[in-house]
């Protein structure tokens, strides 16, 4: 390590080598997302078939978890800002294990929904928002590289856990599957957070002055730039997530087989990795506002291309991949949007505020997309509506310019 970097680490209080924390978070994000998020859509048919609960009510329980995660994410981020991620994320992992066991034992839909509410608490304390806060503070100016690594690795969660969950369902049934997933969560994320996040928590320039730090957070959160950023992010997530969820029915309406449509969806997920790889060089050459507008406008364009292209199949698959690239780039755009503009002071609190409407938008996107499709009469027209929403987000992003701040 260079003398300059060692001096910088001493000045900021950042541990000289936070790679252990990064490695731990890569593991826990794969498992956490796999158990607390991606297992549900795979298990849903088995759950409804076994219990007789309706698809809407069962899905609503899962959506409720996302809403809880959005609301609780703000105080969770504030707590991590003050004390570091180790205790919060370890407790969150224990809560996640309890919630997963509660899901497995649910005798009725009310219990099932309550268990997912508890899972929402765990999501707020353990998934991306918490991990982004930890790495942003530990890595400081090097945060983009660390966040890129994390999101690249965590992006494999669905690839790993969708087939794993399906295999467990075939072997054991959905209740026993969630018991196995709870055990896996317990033996990986609890020790991963307890022992992997033990590095000293870096101090901020304002850490000794809580009133000053609170004033900074309040000033940023009420600024026009932050409000525009929050609205643009929520609209973009809504449009992209609704488009992704309804990609298969759109493509089958265009004449693709179910198998080919499923491949297109899978390749769209793989495209996210390309978007994340490409974000780092883009961030070095552009301002925060420019890349915000460019990525959001690119997302709107790709949604339009997927929805409006009549064919051929190769063109539709290629457009699906480009949609995934836009989604992947947006993940890193959102994770760095606060620190690139205002530094890292109060990052956890500010990111929690930014992420809350985004998570709620993600929660309502599946059924809202279906409602739009029913209202307008076709999936291509629904994608046109989503294009307009994403385009509006890109226009709002024009108001997100501010003078970049040095990382705290």
- Do 187 and 245 reside in the same domain of the chain? no
- Do 119 and 230 reside in the same domain of the chain? no
Taking only the tens place, the pLDDT of each residue in 62-91 is 889 989 998 898 899 889 988 899 999 999
For residue 398, the 8-state DSSP code is G
Residue 386 placed within a domain? yes
Taking only the tens place, the pLDDT of each residue in 370-398 is 788 888 888 899 999 999 999 999 999 99
- Do 248 and 185 reside in the same domain of the chain? no
- Do 235 and 150 reside in the same domain of the chain? no
Residue 403's pLDDT band (cuts 50, 70, 90):
low
CATH value at residue 137: 1.20.1250.20
Instruction: Please name which of 86, 153, 179 lies closest in space to residue 125, comparing C-alpha atoms.
Output: 86
Residue-level pLDDT at 8: 47
Concatenated DSSP letters for 218-267?
HHHHTSHHHHHHHHHHHHHHHHHHHHHHTHHHHHHHTT--HHHHHHHHHH
- Do 187 and 243 reside in the same domain of the chain? no
Structural domain containing residue 69: 13-196
pLDDT for 408 beyond 50: no
**3-class SS shares of the chain: helix, strand, coil, % to 5:** 85, 0, 15
Q: How many domains does the chain have?
A: 2
9 vs 113, higher pLDDT: 113
Tell me how far the alpha carbon of residue 223 is from its chain's centroid: 24
Structure tokens at 333: 């755009």
Size of the chain, expressed as the number of residues it contains? 408
For residue 202, the 8-state DSSP code is P
Taking only the tens place, the pLDDT of each residue in 28-48 is 999 999 999 888 888 888 899
Count helices and strands (H / E) in the chain: 18, 0
95 vs 203, higher pLDDT: 95
């Amino acid at each position: 390590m260079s003398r300059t970097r060692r001096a910088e680490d001493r000045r900021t209080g950042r541990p000289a080598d936070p790679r252990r924390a990064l490695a731990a978070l890569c593991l826990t994000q794969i498992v956490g997302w796999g158990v607390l998020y991606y297992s549900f859509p795979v298990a849903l048919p088995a759950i409804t078939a076994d219990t007789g609960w309706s698809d809407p009510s069962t899905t609503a329980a899962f959506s409720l978890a996302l809403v809880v995660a959005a609301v609780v994410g703000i105080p969770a981020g504030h707590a991590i800002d003050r004390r570091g991620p180790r205790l919060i994320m370890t407790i969150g992992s224990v809560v996640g294990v309890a919630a997963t066991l509660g899901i497995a034992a649910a005798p009725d839909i009310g219990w099932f929904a309550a268990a997912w509410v508890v899972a929402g608490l765990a999501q707020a304390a353990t998934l991306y928002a918490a991990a982004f806060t930890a790495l942003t503070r530990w890595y400081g100016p090097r945060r983009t590289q660390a966040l890129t690594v994390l999101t690249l690795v965590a992006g494999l969660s669905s690839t790993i856990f969708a087939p794993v969950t399906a295999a467990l369902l075939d072997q054991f049934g959905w209740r026993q599957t969630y018991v196995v997933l709870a055990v896996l969560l317990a033996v990986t994320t609890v020790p991963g957070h307890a022992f992997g996040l033990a590095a000293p928590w870096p101090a901020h320039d304002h850490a000794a002055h809580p009133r000053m730090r609170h004033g900074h957070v309040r000033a940023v959160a009420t600024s026009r730039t932050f409000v525009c950023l929050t609205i643009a992010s929520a609209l973009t997530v809504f449009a992209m997530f609704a488009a992704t969820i309804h990609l298969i029915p759109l493509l089958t309406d265009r004449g693709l087989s179910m198998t080919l449509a499923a491949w297109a969806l899978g390749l769209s997920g793989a495209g996210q990795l390309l978007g994340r790889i490409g974000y780092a060089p883009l961030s070095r050459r552009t301002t925060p506002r420019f890349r915000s507008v460019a990525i959001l406008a690119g997302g709107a364009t790709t949604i339009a291309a997927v929805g409006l292209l009549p064919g051929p199949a190769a063109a539709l698959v290629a457009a699906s991949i480009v949609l995934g690239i836009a989604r992947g780039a947006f993940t890193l755009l959102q994770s760095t949007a606060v620190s690139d503009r205002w530094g890292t002071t109060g990052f956890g609190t500010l990111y929690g505020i930014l992420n809350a409407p985004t998570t709620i938008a993600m929660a309502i996107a599946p059924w809202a997309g279906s409602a739009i499709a029913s209202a307008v009469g076709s999936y291509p027209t629904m994608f046109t509506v989503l294009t307009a929403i994403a385009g509006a987000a890109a226009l709002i992003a024009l108001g997100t310019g501010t003078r970049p701040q040095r990382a705290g």
